[in-house]
Amino acid sequence: MSLVSIMMILLTREEFALLEQLLPFFDNISSHTVMDQINKIRSQIRFKGIIEDKVIGDSLISYLAHKEEPVEYPGCDCDECLEEWVEDTMGYLNYKMEIVDDFKRFEKQILHLKKNYSDFYDISLEFFDQLFDTKKRAALKQEIERELIKFVNKYKPILYTILEERGEDTDFLEHVPTFVPGVASVRSEPKVGRNEPCPCGSGKKYKRCCG
């Protein structure tokens, strides 16, 4: 059975119509490339309903798109692939933070999603359910803040490159804290008792010297 015949069986009429333009090139491209294209088309069709829904905003749709089809961490040393992953992951974290931070604006959208598009709600079921609990939402916000801070500090040079290529402001990167709020710092040396000899070697008690 030919690849085209298999496609006609696997795809819906709408999917096949969108993919039909690629049929003349099937002999020259790998099946992996074809399936990647099919998955992208299926995703576009799947999201068509909520994209056209006037209740659901762009930020929530973008979050769901990132959640359903995240860019995988590159398995190569290519700068372009790493930049794409960093940009995608940063976008995902920013959308997630926006939803948590401004939940009142998103509450109606999420309830509408749950009622009318349960399959999309289920993409991030645990996250959405936690948003409706005030304490869990506050904990989520702290968790995402910590994740963002760690991510930005780890990939700051790449983020500079991405923002500069776009002509966007990079000043905020200079003001990202280097520590993660809510995480206790780890001492590199044991704590010195106030009545113990001062570690500086003066011979005095710590409380009367460097303490």
If pLDDT is split at 50, 70 and 90, which confidence band does 102 have?
very high
User: CA 26 from chain center: how many Å?
Assistant: 33
Widest pairwise Cα distance in the chain:
88
Sequence letter at residue 38 = I
Q: How far apart are CA 49 and CA 119, in angstroms?
A: 12
Q: What is the pLDDT of residue 177?
A: 83
The closest alpha carbon to 88, from 43, 45, 151, belongs to: 151
Q: What is the pLDDT of residue 187?
A: 43
Q: What is the pLDDT of residue 32?
A: 52
Specify whether the CB–CB gap between 157 and 170 falls below 8 A.
no
98 pLDDT higher than 90: yes
The residue behind tokens 């709408």 is 14
**Tokens found for residue 199:** 């570690």
Of residues 190 and 145, the one with the higher pLDDT is 145
80 pLDDT higher than 70: yes
Predicted model pTM? 0.64
Helix (H) or strand (E) holding 114: helix 103-116
